Amino acid sequence: MTDVCISVSNARKADFPIYKKMSSAFSYLDNAATTHSPQVVIQAVSQYYEEVHSNPHSASHTLSERTTGQYYKARETVARFIAAPGPEQIIFCHSTTMAINMVAMSYLQPRIQAGDEILVTAMEHHANLLPWQQLAKRHQATLRVVPLTPTGEIDQEAYHQMLSTRTVFVALTHVSNVLGTINPVTSLVASAKSYGIPVLLDGAQAISHTPVDVTALGCDFYVFSGHKAYGPTGIGVLYASASAMEKMTPCIFGGGMIEAVSYTESSWLPNQVATFEPGTPNVSGAIGLAAALDYLTQIGWEAIVSHEQALLQYALSALDRVPQLQIYGRASDRVGVLSFTLADIHAHDITSLLNDQQVAVRGGHHCAMPLIHELGLVSVTRASLGVYNDEQDIDALVNGLHDICRVFQL
C-alpha cells in the first residue's frame, strides 16, 4: 500500500500546503464551492511555468513542442479519468459554466424551435438552469422543471411523465450542490435516450466524490470544473460523445481553429477539439487538473468513497443533536454536502460566527435560488466534505454550532 493510500482521514492534510499556513485549529468545510490543491498539483503548475511555458500547437521550437505534448497528455488523463472513448472527445474550457453555455450555443441553439421543451430539475445550479432558460425564452420554447420528493430526490415518476416527443434536450445535475443527492443518472439518461433525447450531465459536484464513466452513463455531454476536484481555477472540461460533437457548430471564434480565412469566409479545422478551443489555451490549468485527477486516482475511489461516507454518517449523527438544527436533503444515496438551518438565525450570521472559531463553511442560496425558495427559505448554511477532512473538523463544526446555540439561548 502506497503512502497516499494510508489512512485518508489521518494523513491527507499533510498533502495540502494550506494546512501549513493556517493554525492547527483550522477546519475547511467549503469544498462544494472550491477544494484546495495538494502540493503535487501546485508543483505541476509551477514546474510547467519554470521549465516548459510556451504557446502550443503553432511553433516547432523545443518549448512549444513540450507544451503541446503536456497539453495533449493532460487531455488523455481527463479522458481516462472519466472513461471517455478517447481524448478527442475532451474539450478544455474555463469552467463548468462555460462548458454548459457552449453546449447551449453550439449544439442546441441551431436546432431548437418554437414549441420545443427543455427538461431540467428543481435542484439545478444556476449554471445548469440559466443557459436553458434564456435559450427557451429566445426561441419561444418551454423550460420544464422536474419536481423533487420530500427527501430531496428527483421525482422519477414525474420525470418519466414529462419526457415526450416535444422534449429536445435534458439537462441534469449528477450530484446536488445543496442537498448532496446522487441522482440515478444512468436510468434517467436511458429513459431520455429511449425518446432519442440528448442529455447533458452537470458533474461539477460529482467529479471528486464518485467515479464517473461517461461511456456507461450514455450521456451526450458531461461537464465539470478543475477547482472542485483539487485542481486549479479557470479550467473546465466538456466531454461530448462523437455523435454529439459532429452536430456542434463553433460558438467562439479566433486563432487556432481555422483551416482557411478570408475577409468574407472561413473554414474550420477538421480536428473537432481544436474547433472548440480557439485562442491560447489554459495549458497550466489543464496540467494542474491532470495532476489533481492523478492524485485522486492514487488514493483510489474505494478509499475516497468509504472515508467520505463514514465521515458523513458521523456528521449527520452529530448535527442531529444540535438544538433546532434542520438538515435539508435526506436522500439514501448522497455525498458529503450538508445544508442546514439553525432556528431563525441567518446563514450569514452562522458562517461569520463559525469563522471566528476557524471553521470555514458557506451561507447563502448557493447558486440554487429556485431550490432554496421551494424549501421555503432565503438561505442555508452548507458544510461540505473533502478528502482531507476528518472527525476533528466535524467536531469543530458541531462545537461551534453548540456555542451559537448558547449565545442565542436555544
Domains, the chain, ranges and CATH? 3-30+301-407 (3.90.1150.10), 43-297 (3.40.640.10)
Query: Is residue 266 helix, strand or coil?
Result: strand
pLDDT in tens, 175-220: 999 999 999 999 999 999 999 999 999 999 999 999 999 999 999 9
* The residue type at 253: F
**CA 131 → CA 121, 125, 288, distances in Å?**
14, 11, 28
Nearest-angstrom CA–CA distance, 169 and 183:
18
pLDDT at site 59: 73
**CA 378 → CA 33, 94, 360, 406, distances in Å?**
19, 30, 20, 24
- Residue whose C-alpha cell reads 442565542 in the numeric block: 408
DSSP 236: E
Cell numbers standing for residue 31: 469544498
Cα distance from N-terminal residue to C-terminal residue, the chain: 48
Q: Give the dihedral of Cα atoms 230, 236, 237, 238; nearest 10 deg.
A: 150
Nearest-angstrom CA–CA distance, 289 and 78:
8
DSSP 227: G
Annotation says 219 is catalytic: no
Cell numbers standing for residue 391: 472527525
Active-site annotation holder among 5, 219, 367, 405: 367
- Residue whose C-alpha cell reads 428543481 in the numeric block: 122
**Cβ atoms within 10 Å of 286's Cβ, excluding its own:** 27
Radius of gyration of the chain (CA): 22
pLDDT at site 57: 81
Residue pLDDT tens, the chain, 410 long: 333 333 455 568 999 999 999 988 999 999 999 999 999 999 999 999 999 999 998 778 999 999 999 999 999 999 999 999 999 999 999 999 999 999 999 999 999 999 999 999 999 999 999 999 999 999 999 999 999 999 999 999 999 999 999 999 999 999 999 999 999 999 999 999 999 999 999 999 999 999 999 999 999 999 999 999 999 999 999 999 999 999 999 999 999 899 999 999 999 988 789 899 999 999 999 999 999 999 999 999 999 999 999 999 999 999 999 999 999 999 999 999 999 999 999 999 999 999 999 999 999 999 999 999 999 999 999 999 999 999 999 999 999 999 999 999 99
pLDDT in tens, 332-386: 999 999 999 999 999 999 999 999 999 999 999 999 999 999 999 999 999 999 9
Cell numbers standing for residue 275: 474547433
Phi then psi for residue 79, to 5 deg, are -60, -45
Nearest-angstrom CA–CA distance, 383 and 364:
12
pLDDT at site 213: 98
pLDDT at site 272: 81
